[in-house]
Each structure stands twice: as C-alpha cells, then as structure tokens.
Copies of this chain bind each other. A is one copy, B any other.
Amino acid sequence: MKIVDVTTTTFRYISNTVRDSEGHGHPGDPHEAKQSLLTIKTDEGVEGYCFGANPAVIESLVKPLLIGKDPFYREYLWQMLRERQRLNLGSLSDRILANVDMALWDLAGRAVGQPVHKLLGAFRDKVPAYASTMCGDDLPGGLATPEDYANFAKWCVFERGYPAFKLHTWQPPYEGAPSVKRDLEACAAVREAVGPDVDLMLDPFHYYSREESLALARGLEKLNYLWMEEPMAEHSMSSFVWLAEQADLLIVGPETAEGKHYARAEWIKAGAADVIRTGVGDVGGITPAMKCVHLCESFNMSVEIHGGGVGNLHVLCAMGIPGRYYERGLLHPFIDWEEVPAWLNKRDDPMDSEGFVHVSQ
C-alpha cells in the first residue's frame, strides 16, 4: 500500500468560543470559525483522517515526505518528520506531527478493521473522566467567582455524573489575576460544594513564582486536592524540582514544555514531577505519547494524559499503567459540551451516567 495524496480541506462552522488577549477560550456570541481536515489517501482506496492540521505546512513540508511511502511505516515516517523539525522548528510543530501520526494510525485501523487501541495492544475500553473547566472569567453566573466554580462543580458531579473536577482559575487579562488567594478560595469553595470524596485538581496560572507555587500546593494539600499542574513556566525544570521536594501534593508535568519523550525522561531523572504528563498534541502523536507511557512505566511513574480527543482516548485505553482520568472539556456553565461538533456525526468522547468515556470499537 502506498500513499498517493495528502490533502487538507478547510471548512467554516459556527463557534461559540472566543479567545481573550492571552489566548484562552471563553463563551461568546456565535460567529464563523474555520476548521480543517487532513486526509491521507492510498492507492488501495483506504484513507486516514485527522482534524486540525495546518494546510500550508502539510502541503510544503509533510506531503513531499509522505507521497509514495507505505502508510504502515508510522515509526519511520514519524522519525523523518522529527528530523525535519531541526531546520523547520518555527513551522513544523509537534502539533502537526501529531496530526499526521493520528491520521496514519486512523488509516491503519481502517485498513485492518480494528480500533487503534487494539492495534497498540488494548488494556481497557473505558476511562473515567474529569470535568475540566475553562479558565476563570468575569461573566455573571459563568466562572467569575468562587461560588460560580462551586455551583458548576456541583452540577458536573451530582447532575452530570463526573467523578472528578479540575479548575482552570483566573489568568490575565482578567482583573486581579493571577492571585494565589483567589485561586485557593475557588478551590476551597469547590471542595466544600462536592464534599470530601470527589477527586479535585487545579491548573493555575503558569507564570507563578516558586513561593507562590508552594503556597498554592500547601493550600491544596489542606483541601485534599489530588494534584496540581504547571504553576510555573516549565522551561525552568529546576523550579519544579524545588517545588516537588517541598510539596506533599502531587505535582503533574510537564505539559507545554517542548521536548517530547526526551523532556519527560529528564524530568523523571531530575525528580521534577510526581506524575508525568503527556498528550498526543503535546508530544507529536500517538507514537511518541506511547513512548512517554513506556518510559514512565519503566520508572513506575504514573502518567496523566493532557487534553481530550480521540487520539488521547486510544492512548489511555492502550496504557498498561492506566492514566487515572480522561480530561473532558474545556467545560463552562454556558456551553453544552454534549452538543455534537458541526463536523462530526456524534461526539468522539461519549460519557455514560457513571462518568466513563468509551473508546470507539
């Protein structure tokens, strides 16, 4: 089987998410937005798909590499793309590697009639989810106050059935953000609202100082939170070593730090996190996300998967050290997450009444 074409189709849809000046999404008025679909075509008619690829980069850097190749050579193709990043770091991001790798896994699954997690060697078919909120805002009744978070957490846990809840708190440009005091007030309100037994997590502002991060961790320990993510810039690994040594709370990372499985190996060796984080979009696809999982398993390190989406769901179902939760969202009181995206026939992360997300079969 050979790859004969690589195309991207760009289409418009109506979005109700707007970006603030720092790039975080919030509910907003419906407006036209763009989405794209990457398609890898073979001479045998089998195709593989992934949403979200950058058309210009696919056309100029990816397509020339893929044409004529056997699509089952995912490892070879991924390594070739990784090598090309050396001279194209500004444009050939890990996100694009992820799009291509996911389309190749999708193609392989379609070619042999098996879901991707079974090609990898399956471990399970469903994963408990946590409700992962959007960042804090100033929308009345949205996520503007600690009470808003508490009310939303109650709805997520007791009405919708999520077994766990994660706050993304206030970040610039919102007034008064960031604030360790206000973050802890929101976290305390949520703990009060859901009771002592629900797993809670925090993803705070990612440019806090060392001492602010430690204050957050100490506060969350008292509230019996499960973990905290990325309170500081992750390029300073030493800061995370410092934090992990002093905090009893589980510190989860790295998330946005570049470096794929290589970076995660260094974090493990340095003792910079208690639980390692990876995700197909962060490290360049299912192929390297599984490398991260296997690395972590070798050191008895747990792995939590960053972000939702069908690629992460298949990784979660193929992991022998099962990640504790699937991250569902980003959720907000004003957004109906169960609504099917305009470009899908059904949601790709359906959650049942007991809080489990099921992988496609």
A74 and B122 alpha carbons, distance in the complex (Å): 6
Tell me the residues in window 78-123 of chain A with beta carbons closer than 8 Å to chain B beta carbons.
78-79, 108, 112-114, 118-123
A243 interfacial by beta-carbon distance below 8 Å: no
Please state if B264 and A73 are interface contacts (CB–CB under 8 Å).
Answer: no
A294 interfacial by beta-carbon distance below 8 Å: yes
Please state if A121 and B298 are interface contacts (CB–CB under 8 Å).
Answer: no
Please state if B119 and A119 are interface contacts (CB–CB under 8 Å).
Answer: yes
Chain A window 309-323, contacts with chain B (Cβ cutoff 8 Å), 1 for yes, 0 for no: 000000000111000
User: Chain A's interface: helix, strand, loop or mixed, by majority?
Assistant: helix
Please state if A292 and B287 are interface contacts (CB–CB under 8 Å).
Answer: no
Please state if A124 and B76 are interface contacts (CB–CB under 8 Å).
Answer: yes
Please state if B122 and A70 are interface contacts (CB–CB under 8 Å).
Answer: yes
Please state if A73 and B121 are interface contacts (CB–CB under 8 Å).
Answer: yes
**CB closest chain-B residue, reference A78:** B320
Partner of A73, one of B74, B123, B319: B123
Chain B residues near A113: list those with CB within 8 A.
Answer: 112
A290 and B287 alpha carbons, distance in the complex (Å): 12
A51 interfacial by beta-carbon distance below 8 Å: no
Please state if A75 and B294 are interface contacts (CB–CB under 8 Å).
Answer: no
Tell me the residues in window 47-76 of chain A with beta carbons closer than 8 Å to chain B beta carbons.
70, 72-76
A11 interfacial by beta-carbon distance below 8 Å: no
Kindly name the residue among A73, A78, A121, A297 whose own CB sees the greatest number of chain B CB atoms within 10 A.
A121
A79 and B108 alpha carbons, distance in the complex (Å): 25
A181 and B300 alpha carbons, distance in the complex (Å): 43
Chain B residues near A319: list those with CB within 8 A.
Answer: 75
Kindly name the residue among A114, A118, A298, A300 whose own CB sees the greatest number of chain B CB atoms within 10 A.
A298
**CB closest chain-B residue, reference A114:** B112
A210 interfacial by beta-carbon distance below 8 Å: no
A187 and B151 alpha carbons, distance in the complex (Å): 76
